[in-house]
Structure 1
Amino acid sequence: MIEWYKKVVFENYASFSGRARRSEYWYFILANMIIGVLLTLLDNILGFKLGTSGVLSGLYNLAVFIPSLAVSVRRLHDIGKSGKLLLLFYGIIIILVIVMLVSGFSVFMSGGFSMSSLGVAFFGPLLVVIAMSIWMLILFCTEGEHSSNKYGPDPKNETSEINKIGTFEL
């Protein structure tokens, strides 16, 4: 797990090209979560708070933001998908959050506050975000393509293609 984490953070810090295996992605996510929990605990013990967020965990999240995006893009590349899919995912989430805020604010200001208007303003976009998150989770869990694709060689079996050069099969 530590080797995968070091590979993502130190070797491929901002590398958005190439492919990342499921193990590289998920071990990075697991290590990231463990470090995040430990830093949050340390923030709470030491009293390092800045509003509702801890200082150490906040700085750590800033430090791993770019590697997190990069490994996510490379993971999508491994299954033959463009990294632009991640941009689309986050773009839609941002738009839906804005829609939720604007529609919720307008419902509140109009005085026509009711549970049905609240449901339309908040739970509709929330369901879209949940559905999209499940879809992205499925993509990140999908096995990568077994041969080279337009994003690079198969990271699981990088030597297989070089070994095929010069061989003759009947």
Structure 2
Amino acid sequence: MLHYYKLYWLNALKIHGRARRKEFWYPILATLIIEIVASILNSVLPLPSWLTYTIATVFSIVNLVPSFTVTVRRFHDLDMTMKIPVILFVFSILADINDLIPSINIDFTFNNVINIIIAVIFIVIVAAFLILGIISLAVCCTRGNEQSNKYGINPKYVN
């Protein structure tokens, strides 16, 4: 697992090529373990909330790039383009920016047409994100092509 987590960071800026399922899922597991340990330490140690929030935000932002590139390479392993990962990456960045901006109170009482239009647009965007996320999850769980494709040779058989 540590080998694949190391590859995750070494190939953080590599978009070309292919990635095995292990190269995708082991870093997710390692990141989850890191977040659980950090959460436990946060509850045990008397750290200021601004510090833990800053560390969590920086960790999340730093993880965006390698998770994007490994997702692109995972799509390449199935001979697919990087359109869906790019759209999901843009949604992720917008969600992170939204977390950093103070909340804006929007009146969703549906008293006027503008609020209804905003609500419909929001629902469509969230639905598109969920559908693309499910598609991405299914692709990342799928076995890669055995043969070489336009993105390279099968990484399973490379030393």
TM-score, normalized by the shorter chain, greater than 0.5: yes
RMSD: 3.3
Question: Structure 1: how far apart are the matches of 2:42 and 2:54?
Answer: 7
2:75, 2:81 within 8 Å by CA — same for their partners in 1?
Answer: yes
Question: Structure 1: how far apart are the matches of 2:148 and 2:121?
Answer: 45
Q: Does 1:23 align with 2:18?
A: no
User: Normalising by structure 1, what TM-score?
Assistant: 0.69
The structure number with the bigger radius of gyration is 1
- Cα-to-partner distance string for 1:84-115 (whole Å, 9 max, x where unaligned): 331133446759xx9xxxxx94xx388617xx
Structure having greater relative contact order (Cα 8 Å, sep ≥ 6): 2
Aligned-residue offset at 1:134: 0.9
Gaps of 5+ in 1: 99-103, 160-170
1:43, 1:54 within 8 Å by CA — same for their partners in 2?
Answer: no
User: Normalising by structure 2, what TM-score?
Assistant: 0.73
Gaps of 5+ in 2: 99-104
Once the two structures are overlaid, the 10-residue window that deviates more, 21-30 or 121-130, is 121-130
CA 140–130 in structure 1, closer or farther in 2 if over 3 Å, else same: same
Question: Structure 1: how far apart are the matches of 2:148 and 2:119?
Answer: 46
Q: Percent of pairs identical after alignment?
A: 29
| Matched length | 147
Residue matched to 1:14: 13
- Cα-to-partner distance string for 1:26-80 (whole Å, 9 max, x where unaligned): 01111111112212332343324229x6333333223333221221111111111
Structure 2: which amino acid aligns with 1:3? H
Question: Structure 2: how far apart are the matches of 1:39 and 1:137?
Answer: 25
